[in-house]
Structure 1
Amino acid sequence: MYWLASELHTHTDHSDGKQTLSELAEGAAKLGFECIALTDHNTLSGLDGRENVEREWGLTIIPGMEWTTFYGHMLTLGLQDFVDWRTAELSNIHKGISEVHRKAGLVGLAHPYRIGSPICTGCHWEYEIRNWNDIDYIEVWSGTFPSIKTDNLRAFSLWTDRLNEGYRIAATSGRDWHAQVATEEPVSVTYLGLRADKPQERNQISQDAVDALSHGRSVVTIGPLLTMEVESANSWFGIGDNVPAPSSDPDESIDGYWGHVKTVFSVRQGLWELPEQNFTLKIVGNTGTAAERSVGAADEVYRMNIPEGGLLWARAELWGTVHGVRALIAFTNAIYFNEGRGTE
């Protein structure tokens, strides 16, 4: 698995950004990003010259667009063609979502609980969602130092509630990056898990990145890379995978599951920092906190037991102190379990 450091919500001067695509890419490269999604408001025109900019700065640019309406902002990724946002209706956003999916794109809720009109037109999500299976991902962290912001805490809870209801939706972060302005606040990264080693062809990387997000192979962090695998009956499952229900044969029964959580503090060295401390590593799911331990700032794999019993999903979380505040530093997307779902 190759974890691609990505920024999935950006803007240029083709909408309300104050940067060209080349300036955006330069800034992203200096922050250690390998991939960005350009999500200008209601236009794809900012992608003009994309291939030249990719070559210039050595990163991949995923084509995208942010549907910007009175009732919410919806991110679309992976589309080569324009899908008309003007047809979106308050009670039928699913029509637009279906068209994006028909053209092999993904849809995500952008900053769903940000303050809305008249401060930010449509920033607060109001569209009626009749079927959450149509939503590919939720931007649960928006802006810089995202994990402490009230609107992001609500978005994170929204995602968790949907997981508890049995939906399989990915979570991402996005800076909503409009200008090359220096900040001392932590910057989040969404790592996308490519199935194989990183390909060399830019278009292939873009397609693989979209595929990774569609399968929930993503990790969000303001520091170290955090990944998880689950061991069950001598088989291994990664982020976004589905763990089969335990065998009903008593000779093949298991004593819970084993979560193998890896912390990698050596990623993007020199581009972020945390005070020296012991961190709290957790595995949480719909049944609550399944496992917890104190860990140091090391590249290490920790084996933690996850009890059986009604599991729908589990994710890893890393907690610590950032700028004097106890906060969530990193989290994985979910690994799913059939034992709490019945027969699928």
Structure 2
Amino acid sequence: MPRQVRTLRLGLEDQFAEEIRTVPFELDGERSVEVTLEHDDGAVIDLGCSGPAGWRGWSGGARRRFVIAEDAATPGYVPGPLEPGQWHVQLGLYRVPVEPIEVRVTVEAPAAGGVEPEPPGEVRDGPRASERGLPAPQGLTWFAGDFHAHSTHSDGEQSLGELAALARGNGLDFLAVTEHNTVSHHRLLPEVAARHDIVLLPGQEVTTPRGHANAFGDIGWIDFREPPASWVERVRERDGILSINHPLQDEWSWQHPLTHLPDALELWHVSWFLQPTSTAPWALLARWARDVSLLGGSDYHHPRHGYLPGTPVTWVAAADRSPEAILDGVRAGRTALTRLPSPDAPALVRVGEDLVAVAADGTVLTDLDGRSRLLRGERTVIPAGRAGTGPYRLTTPAGELLAVSP
């Protein structure tokens, strides 16, 4: 196939008319293809690709070049045979100026360049947060993890191995890898998880300009171009779990109407973590949170954040430390959230119908209706019927959020 260059002029009116633009190209027996995107630096145009057999990947605004070959692909894209027929470069008009700018798409097949190998990450060892032995229902253990993190398979800066090493080094038992609009990482997770001795949950952050949701489970790709109601339906059909992400976070807040709630809610996103005395999210979200499983997510992308995966921590009471058991615990609503994974961090968990506060001497327990009580002692049991209405939050006397329990 000869080198193809397609030039478009795209501005704000084009974004309003159609957020996703496609650039078609033909393949016929080539074993690799390379796509390059060029435009003014002031714009943010997402980049992806689909073939005759379906979706082949997405890198959003994190990349302006990708390669797909039979045996390798740029992170974010799925390698494999390049079926003959019409392919499409997918352009997401996320942020473009009022006046149209020139956008150039170049397609070369075979690819002119290759795919750089991903660093495997340094293997780390150390205690796991679950070893603190939080009180749990019979036959279950509270495992510590994070339900929101990114690698180079979308807009993160660490490879899958480097990301796993950070999570394992912070004492986590599991980590959900939730890449934007791609599942290219799913096939790689078992090997990376075995190398770093951590459970890696397959995830996809279904991403649109009006809201994001995480789809958990090895359930294939969820089409972000469809209405969000279909995400809920597709994920349930495939026995996965859908969680609405950072629903009140600035321009990424949830703005899609839904007639049916998904199974989970990212109640404690890191943006709330960084404003620990804020109660604005609580008042708006907690009543919704009564009907879904509660999750937390660091939304980790790179070390310049100044925090690690597991900020905050989501605890799941599960039968064992496996992806299936962890997701079963989420389905059953057996989750709790804490500020940190350290063994002396205050925690609030359910054991049966009772609430149990651990390492919480001098903290304040507040229920959904705003009723508060001061806790005394390193371990306090609040029997069923005496705790008020959940979800519950544990704070310092100054109002700094420490833990959440349904």
Q: TM-score, normalised by structure 1?
A: 0.68
Contact 2:181–2:222 (8 Å) recurs in 1: no
Q: Does 2:406 match 1:327?
A: no
Alpha-carbon RMSD across the aligned residues, in angstroms, is: 2.7
- Alignment-derived partner of residue 171 in structure 1: 294
Q: Specify the SS of the correspondent of 1:85.
A: coil
Deviation at 1:45, TM superposition (A): 0.7
- Alignment-derived partner of residue 159 in structure 2: 20
- Alignment-derived partner of residue 110 in structure 1: 245
Trace 1:1-344 onto structure 2 (pairs within 5 A): 1-88=140-227, 93-116=228-251, 123-131=252-260, 134-143=261-270, 146=273, 148=275, 153-163=279-289, 168-181=291-304, 183=306, 187-194=311-318, 196=319, 198-199=320-321, 205-223=322-340, 224=345, 225-229=347-351, 237-238=352-353, 259-264=354-359, 278-282=361-365, 284-286=367-369, 288-289=370-371, 292-296=373-377, 298=378, 300-303=379-382, 306-307=385-386, 313-320=389-396, 326-333=399-406
Contact 1:9–1:175 (8 Å) recurs in 2: yes
Deviation at 1:181, TM superposition (A): 4.0
Q: Distance in 1 between matches of 2:336 and 2:384?
A: 21
Deviation at 1:208, TM superposition (A): 1.2
Contact 1:12–1:40 (8 Å) recurs in 2: yes
Unaligned runs of 5+ in 1: 117-122, 200-204, 230-236, 239-258, 266-277, 334-344
Q: Distance in 2 between matches of 1:68 and 1:17?
A: 15
Deviation at 1:153, TM superposition (A): 4.2
Partner amino acid, structure 2, of 1:135: P
Deviation at 1:211, TM superposition (A): 1.4
Q: Deviations over 1:244-273 (max 9, x none)?
A: xxxxxxxxxxxxxxx4423158xxxxxxxx
Q: Specify the SS of the correspondent of 1:139.
A: strand
Deviation at 1:303, TM superposition (A): 3.9
Unaligned runs of 5+ in 2: 1-139
Deviation at 1:155, TM superposition (A): 3.6
In terms of Rg, which structure is larger? 2
* CA pair 143-78 structure 1, distance change in 2 beyond 3 A: same
Q: Distance in 2 between matches of 1:113 and 1:144?
A: 9
Partner amino acid, structure 1, of 2:297: G
* CA pair 62-305 structure 1, distance change in 2 beyond 3 A: closer
Q: Distance in 2 between matches of 1:94 and 1:305?
A: 35
Partner amino acid, structure 2, of 1:329: L
Deviation at 1:189, TM superposition (A): 0.3
Deviation at 1:305, TM superposition (A): 7.2
Moved over 4 A (4+): none
Contact 2:297–2:311 (8 Å) recurs in 1: no
- Alignment-derived partner of residue 202 in structure 1: none
Deviation at 1:220, TM superposition (A): 0.5
Q: Deviations over 1:46-79 (max 9, x none)?
A: 2342112111111101111001112211111113
Contact 2:186–2:218 (8 Å) recurs in 1: no
* CA pair 41-149 structure 1, distance change in 2 beyond 3 A: farther
Deviation at 1:331, TM superposition (A): 1.3
Q: Deviations over 1:274-328 (max 9, x none)?
A: xxxx532425245x42x623335x3x243457459xx7x434432116xxx6312
Report how many residues are paired: 261
Deviation at 1:83, TM superposition (A): 2.1
Contact 2:365–2:393 (8 Å) recurs in 1: yes
Q: Distance in 1 between matches of 2:324 and 2:300?
A: 22
Q: Report percent identity of matched pairs.
A: 23
Partner amino acid, structure 1, of 2:275: I
Deviation at 1:144, TM superposition (A): 6.2
Q: Specify the SS of the correspondent of 1:64.
A: strand
* CA pair 47-180 structure 1, distance change in 2 beyond 3 A: farther
Q: TM-score, normalised by structure 2?
A: 0.58
Deviation at 1:86, TM superposition (A): 1.6
Deviation at 1:159, TM superposition (A): 2.7
Q: Distance in 2 between matches of 1:11 and 1:295?
A: 39
Q: Distance in 1 between matches of 2:160 and 2:190?
A: 11
Q: Specify the SS of the correspondent of 1:314.
A: coil
Partner amino acid, structure 1, of 2:178: T
Q: Distance in 1 between matches of 2:237 and 2:280?
A: 30
Q: Which has the higher contact order (CA 8 A, sep 6+)?
A: 1
